[in-house]
Amino acid sequence: MMKKRITWVDITKGFLMILVVIGHYPGELEFPLAKYIYWFHMPAFFILSGLFFKPVLEKKDIKLTVYKRFMQLIFPYLFFLTSITLVRYGMEISSGNLDIQWYLNDLWTIAVGGRFIRGAYGVFWFVTTLFFTYLLFMWLTTYFSRMKQFIILGLFYVLAHFESIIAMDVISGKPSEAAQSIPMIWNIDVALMAIVYFAIGYYFKELWMDVSKRWLGTAVFVSAIAVLLENFNIIEYRLSMKFLRYDHLILDLIIPISFTIVLIGCFQLLAVKLSLNWLQKIENHSLTIMYLHIFADIILNDYFTYGLIGYTMIGIFIPIIVSILIKKWIPYGTILLGGFSIKKKRTPIST
C-alpha cells in the first residue's frame, strides 16, 4: 500500500532545494540573498526530516532500520561521490595531470569528506550528517526517557557551540579555515547541532503539521525584526552548519525556527489554493539536484556565460535530466537515487 504524500511537505522541500542551488551561486549579488538563505535552509531540512521520524519500538528492529537508512542515504552518497570523482579524474588526465601524489591526496580528502571537500562536493556533508543525526536520535529515543532525551539534547547543543568557538578564527572572525583544523570524518560532529533541529521537528509535530495563523504571524514578526536588526548593524548573525559557525546560543534557535515556520506556514496556505506541481517535481529529483548542481556549473561555466537565473536553471534541470536517465537506463537506478524500501512480509490470515 502506497503512503499518501503530504503536498505542502513536497513543495516546501522543492523550494528549499532551489534555495540550496541559489546559495551556492559563485558570483556576487547586490542583495545579500545567500546570507539570509543560510539563516534557515539547512535547519529547515533537518526539522522536516525529524517531522517524519518514527521511533524504533523494538530493539530487534534497530539493525534493519540502520540498514534501510544506509541504503537510502549513504549508498547514493557513495554512488555520486564515485561518479563525480571518475569524471573529474578523466578531465584531469585529459588536461595532462599525471601527478600520482595529487590523486592520492585528493582521494584522501574525498574519503574524509564533510567540510574538508569543496567544489563539486560542496553539499555532500549534509547527507552524512543527516545519516548520523538519524542514528543518534534513534539511540536517544530507544534507550532514554523523554526527560533524559531533553537533557542530552541540551548538552549536545551547548557542546556544538563550544566546538564552534574552538573553530572560530578570533582574528578574522571567520570559521571556515579554522574549522579545517578540527579532524572529523563526514562532518559527524555537525550532528550535535543538527539533532537539535531534527528533535524540534519530531517533538513539535503538531505545530509543524498545521501552522496556526497566530504562530505564522508571530514568526513573520520575529523574522522581520531579525532582518531589520541585522540591516541596521544591531546584530550580526551568521549560520553555517557545515563550517561549525553557530554565532549565538539563543538566536541559533529563534531565527532558523521563525523562518522555517514562515516558510512552512505559507506553503501550507498556498498548497490549498494553488497547484505547485513544479515544486513537487523538483522535490522528486532533489537528491540528484543536491549532488550535481555545483558540478553541472563547473563543467559548463567554461563554455557559457550566465548569471544567477542561468546558474539556477542549470543547477536544477540538468540534474533532473540525469536523474530521469539513471532511473530509465541503469539497473536498480531507483535505489541509486535513494529509493530503497523494505517490503514487509504479509502475515497469512488464518481461517
Compute the Cα dihedral for 163, 166, 170, 172 and give only its sign.
negative
Residues 337, 327: Cα–Cα separation, whole Å:
8
φ, ψ (nearest 5 deg) of residue 26? -80, -10
- 53: helix, strand or coil: coil
Please compute, for residue 70, the number of CA atoms within 13 A of its CA located in the half-sphere on the CB side.
Answer: 6
Cell numbers describing residue 264 = 512552512
**Rg of the chain, C-alpha, whole Å:** 21
Specify the pLDDT at position 168. 73
pLDDT of the chain, 351 residues: tens digit per residue: 334 568 999 999 999 999 999 999 988 776 677 889 999 999 999 999 999 999 998 888 999 999 999 999 999 999 999 999 999 999 999 999 999 999 999 999 999 999 989 899 999 999 999 999 999 999 999 999 999 999 999 999 999 999 998 887 543 455 555 666 677 899 999 999 999 999 999 999 999 999 999 999 999 999 999 999 999 999 999 999 999 999 899 999 999 999 999 999 999 999 998 889 999 999 999 999 999 999 999 999 989 899 999 999 999 999 999 999 999 999 999 999 999 987 765 555 544
Specify the pLDDT at position 213. 94
The pTM score is 0.93
Specify the pLDDT at position 176. 53
Specify the pLDDT at position 322. 97
Specify the pLDDT at position 351. 44
Specify the pLDDT at position 345. 57
Residues 195, 123: Cα–Cα separation, whole Å:
18
Q: DSSP labels for 237-251? A: --EETTTTEE--TTH
Residues 219, 224: Cα–Cα separation, whole Å:
8
Burial of 112 (0-12, 13-18, 19+ CB in 10 A): middle
Q: Are 170 and 16 in contact (CB under 8 A)?
A: no
Specify the pLDDT at position 58. 87
Matching residue, cell 559527524: 188
